[in-house]
């Protein structure tokens, strides 16, 4: 696995998306190369979320994850980046960490397209023991890849893994958001086995 992202545990992910684009513009502007020294990075796409407009590259040499913004991809002729794709890029040291500003090449032969993602990539396969229930998102971190749902006071939190979201076509969760889930017993407590958007067919009453 790659090194932990320098953005992990810092500003909320939405703030990352807001803050990186001006820096990309600076990097592409006149004189950018003379002000900051670019380093060549060879690695693989850790993940990329088109709706958020950014993702991360895991360098082969063990350096921290490299932030890559959609404007950087599109400037160099790429519309998106798939998990596992091999990338060669130039990156700059920014206050928050490394950030790609030029994509030199991308090899998608090793990429995992969303339709080809395995059914389960967690170490635990949970059998649902509950009915479809409407729970509230208590906390979720897209970069760390997990979070917790709540059924209210007096009820144990339910763990949700990023791979479970992917299996059901979801990309993120927001605190306060409601979702429909079936869950079961995992090795460390309750764990989501199935997740659907609030209002999905067959949804339980919200009262």
Instruction: Tell me the pLDDT tens digit for each residue of 135-148.
Output: 999 988 877 788 89
All CATH 2.40.50.140 domain ranges of the chain, comma separated, are: 13-113, 133-197
- Of 180, 174, 186, 166, whose CA–CA distance to 135 is shortest? 180
Across 15-19, 28-32, 125-129, which has the greatest mean pLDDT?
125-129
65, 2 Cβ separation under 8 angstroms? yes
Instruction: Give the pLDDT confidence of 62-103 residue by residue, as tens digits.
Output: 899 999 999 999 898 888 888 888 999 999 998 888 999 999
The third-level CATH classification (topology) of the domain covering 13-113 is OB fold (Dihydrolipoamide Acetyltransferase, E2P) (2.40.50)
Tokens of 152: 């209210």
What is the C-alpha separation between 197 and 195, in angstroms, rounded? 7
Q: Whole-model pTM above 0.75?
A: no
Instruction: Please tell me the class of the 133-197 domain.
Output: mainly beta
């Amino acid at each position: 696995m790659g090194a932990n992202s320098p953005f992990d545990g810092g500003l909320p992910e939405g703030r990352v998306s807001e803050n990186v684009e001006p820096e990309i513009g600076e990097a592409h502007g006149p004189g950018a190369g003379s002000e900051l020294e670019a380093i060549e990075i060879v690695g693989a796409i850790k993940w990329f979320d088109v709706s958020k407009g950014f993702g991360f590259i895991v360098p082969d040499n063990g350096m921290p994850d490299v932030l890559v913004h959609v404007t950087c991809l599109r400037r160099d002729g790429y519309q998106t980046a798939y998990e596992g794709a091999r990338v060669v890029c130039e990156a700059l040291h920014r206050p928050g960490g490394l950030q790609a500003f030029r994509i030199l090449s991308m090899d998608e032969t090793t990429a995992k397209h969303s339709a080809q993602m395995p059914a389960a990539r967690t170490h635990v396969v949970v059998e649902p023991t509950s009915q479809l229930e409407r729970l509230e998102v208590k906390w979720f971190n897209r970069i760390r890849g997990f979070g917790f749902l709540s059924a209210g006071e007096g009820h144990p939190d339910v763990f949700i893994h990023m791979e479970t979201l992917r299996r059901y076509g979801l990309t993120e969760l927001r605190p306060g958001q409601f979702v429909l889930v079936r869950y079961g017993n995992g090795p460390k407590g309750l764990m989501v086995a199935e997740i659907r958007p609030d209002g999905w067919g067959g949804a339980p009453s919200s009262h």
